[in-house]
A = this chain, B = another copy of it.
Amino acid sequence: MGRVTSSDVARASGVSRTTVSYVLNAREGALISEATRERVKAAAAALGYAPSAAARTLRAGRSDLVVCVLPDWPTGPVVDSVLDHLADALAERGLALLVHHARDERPLSDLWPVVTPRAVVGLSAFTPEDERVMQQAGIEVVVVLQEEDPHRPGALTASQGGVGGLQVQHLAAAGHRRTGYAYPTDPRLAGFADLRLAGVVRRCADLGLPAPLVEPVSLDVASAVRAVTAWRRANPPVTAVAAYNDEVALAVLAGLRAEGLAVPGDVAVIGVDDVPAARLVTPALTTVSQAAEVQAGHLAAQVVDALDGGGNPPPDPGDVLGLVVRESA
């Protein structure tokens, strides 16, 4: 409801709408007197003129909006960082970023009659139906895949299996042979967890170790105690646990403590993420860091490249994973 239109500005400054448009959009070949320019700008400011986004978009035939579809993941610093880098990279191209929080109850298709963005960036795969609808609406679809699909690699992707591998490598180097895996119970994490666990399994096989004993662990002591009991009852017992992330690792630590087991003496524990709490607990948590900033920057570069036609993909960010060795493993 842009109350005041370019016609109002034209009338107020005694020129045509054409001239208003030229002045306000600083058109190149515009041979308009400085006096007229000033008059138009003053009128626009005085009237509080704001151009209609709908009209500009309709006229231009394309929108300058990009929508990022955020899967139903727990948000945190990593997602923040991704969004931030993306918004900055797009802003340099004159594109604005807005974020949609996906939920099954709110179908993506409800969005397109309301806004038709230039492009949609998905952090995980869309359903074929959603993808079809977007393409038909003329929306460019950019997917940064979660899955490890060799045909369509993505930034978030490359490292998930590597994370698990790095955990095992560190544990094996310390002489552990029988490992456990602490798998998260939040269903929203299953996609990532499966990827990381696969990396654990693969590396165990590579090193000639038995497969890890997988136990679900939720974020309370009782659940962790159950897992610990299972691990210690195994024959031979588990002496080292790789956890899905630091939060889960904290739970494992609590379970171990409740059972009177020493860390890393009886059981070693390694997490993922290097959250602040990792260095604050006792024993301090050994973990895998992921260089979220670097990965977020790379992801943004991939999206920009896809928008530019895909001809100039950014260089691989290289080894992005780091081992943070503290006391727990």
* In the assembled complex, A17 has its CB within 8 A of some CB on chain B: no
B110 & A91 in contact (Cβ 8 Å cutoff): yes
Query: Which of B58, B132, B221 contacts A52 (CB under 8 A)?
Result: B58
B74 & A74 in contact (Cβ 8 Å cutoff): no
Q: A53-B115, A253-B280 are in contact. Are A75 and B64 (CB under 8 A)?
A: no
A54 & B50 in contact (Cβ 8 Å cutoff): no
A55 & B58 in contact (Cβ 8 Å cutoff): yes
Question: Quick one: CB contact mask for A76-103 with B, threshold 8 Å, 1 for yes?
Answer: 1101100110011001000111111101
Contacts of A76 in B (CB 8 A): 74-76
B114 & A2 in contact (Cβ 8 Å cutoff): no
A114 CB to nearest B CB, Å: 4
A100 & B103 in contact (Cβ 8 Å cutoff): no
Query: Which of B55, B91, B95, B281 contacts A254 (CB under 8 A)?
Result: B281
State the copy count for this chain. Answer: 2
A292 CB to nearest B CB, Å: 13
Contacts of A62 in B (CB 8 A): 1
Contacts of A111 in B (CB 8 A): 96
* In the assembled complex, A42 has its CB within 8 A of some CB on chain B: no
Report A25-54 residues with CB < 8 Å from chain B CB: 48-54
* In the assembled complex, A206 has its CB within 8 A of some CB on chain B: no
A2 & B116 in contact (Cβ 8 Å cutoff): yes
Contacts of A247 in B (CB 8 A): 276-277
A87 & B63 in contact (Cβ 8 Å cutoff): no
Q: A106-B87, A137-B2 are in contact. Are A54 and B63 (CB under 8 A)?
A: yes
Contacts of A97 in B (CB 8 A): 100-101
* In the assembled complex, A133 has its CB within 8 A of some CB on chain B: yes
Question: Quick one: CB contact mask for A219-254 with B, threshold 8 Å, 1 for yes?
Answer: 111001000000000000000000000010011011
Contacts of A253 in B (CB 8 A): 280
B99 & A99 in contact (Cβ 8 Å cutoff): yes
* In the assembled complex, A105 has its CB within 8 A of some CB on chain B: yes
Pick 24 A–B contacts, CB within 8 A, sort by A.
A3-B136, A48-B136, A52-B116, A53-B112, A53-B113, A54-B58, A54-B116, A56-B113, A63-B114, A65-B114, A75-B80, A83-B101, A84-B103, A87-B106, A96-B110, A98-B98, A99-B100, A99-B101, A115-B115, A219-B276, A221-B280, A250-B280, A253-B280, A281-B281
